[in-house]
Amino acid sequence: MSDRRFRFGIVGSPRSGAEWTKTVRQAADLGYTTVLMPDGLQLPSPFPSLAMAAAVADIRVGTFVAAAPLRTPRAAAWEAHTLTVLTDGRFDFGIGTGRPVAEQQTAELGLPWGSPRERRDQVRETLDHLVKLDGEQRTPIMLAAGGPRALALAAARADIVSLAKDALTPRAEVAQLVHDLRELAGPRADDIELAMNLFAAGTRELPPWTKQAAGVDPDVLEATDSLMMLRGTPQQMADELQRRRDEFGTSYITVNSTFLEDLAPAVELLHGK
């Protein structure tokens, strides 16, 4: 379905400067093309964290994803444009309406949470501001899409779409999501890069915080054909990623930084493919 070559990213959550520097350099050395940061008050701010990452390695950086309600649209666009300028165009701006935990964090900042529609409008307004700030140097946009309204927004505005479904979503439902996205995108469908995020890779035992992060018990994940998982030998993982690219069109694969070494052999096998 996709003739795009694979590229790989890691999703990190640094606890110190030394740890973050080590992770970023390791990712670059192992063939990953992108370092991504989640957004939330429980973590370091993503924008300075990504500026630091871009300074210590020749690698792309991106938010995964910025929660629109945590900033005013103009402020979020300012932060994104700044990273595009300072990284010489190595920044991908991932933005979304915010996970449920962001509602309390928004209140801590003294900002309104808003209805789902208002938060989607906030994403659109942020992107409009960013277009004006960027001028000729355009920042690539990543949007996550799961529901119909998010899908429509992604079809209209995204360069990269991360397929956002829960851990136990059947393959047929993901395939339908991709079909609907392409239908909505129309003539720009082939310009959209499809991404898929992995919770775990390789053969290592799942960590105890799996249920909190994935919403499913580790044994349930292991027993199902969950697309959040990529298990097996390096060759088996590479074969499965090629199957997913053929089936869904996903060529941009991201993984929790805990498993960056586990996925690295498959990254090497798929280099340039």
Here the CATH number for the domain that contains residue 29 is: 3.20.20.30
pLDDT digits (tens, 9 = 90+) for 219-261: 888 888 889 999 999 999 999 999 999 999 999 999 999 999 9
pTM exceeding the 0.85 threshold for the entire prediction: yes
Cα(105)–Cα(99) distance, integer angstroms: 10
Q: Is residue 1 part of a domain?
A: no
DSSP conformation class of 187: G
Between 79-88, 202-211, 246-255, the lowest mean confidence (pLDDT) is in: 202-211
Number of independent structural domains in the chain? 1
Q: Is residue 65 part of a domain?
A: yes
Q: Is residue 85 part of a domain?
A: yes
Q: Is residue 180 part of a domain?
A: yes
Q: Provide the pLDDT confidence category of residue 212 given band limits of 50, 70 and 90.
A: confident
Cα(163)–Cα(149) distance, integer angstroms: 14
Q: Is residue 21 part of a domain?
A: yes
Q: Is residue 2 part of a domain?
A: no
Q: Is residue 111 part of a domain?
A: yes
Average pLDDT over the chain, rounded to an integer: 94
Q: Is residue 165 part of a domain?
A: yes
| Burial (0-12, 13-18, 19+ Cβ within 10 Å), 239 | middle
Residue 172 structural domain: 7-269
Cα(46)–Cα(94) distance, integer angstroms: 11
Portion of the chain with pLDDT greater than 90, in percent: 85
pLDDT digits (tens, 9 = 90+) for 161-188: 999 888 889 999 999 999 999 999 999 9
Tally the residues of the chain: 273
Contact (CB, 8 A) for 124 and 157? yes
Cα(152)–Cα(155) distance, integer angstroms: 5
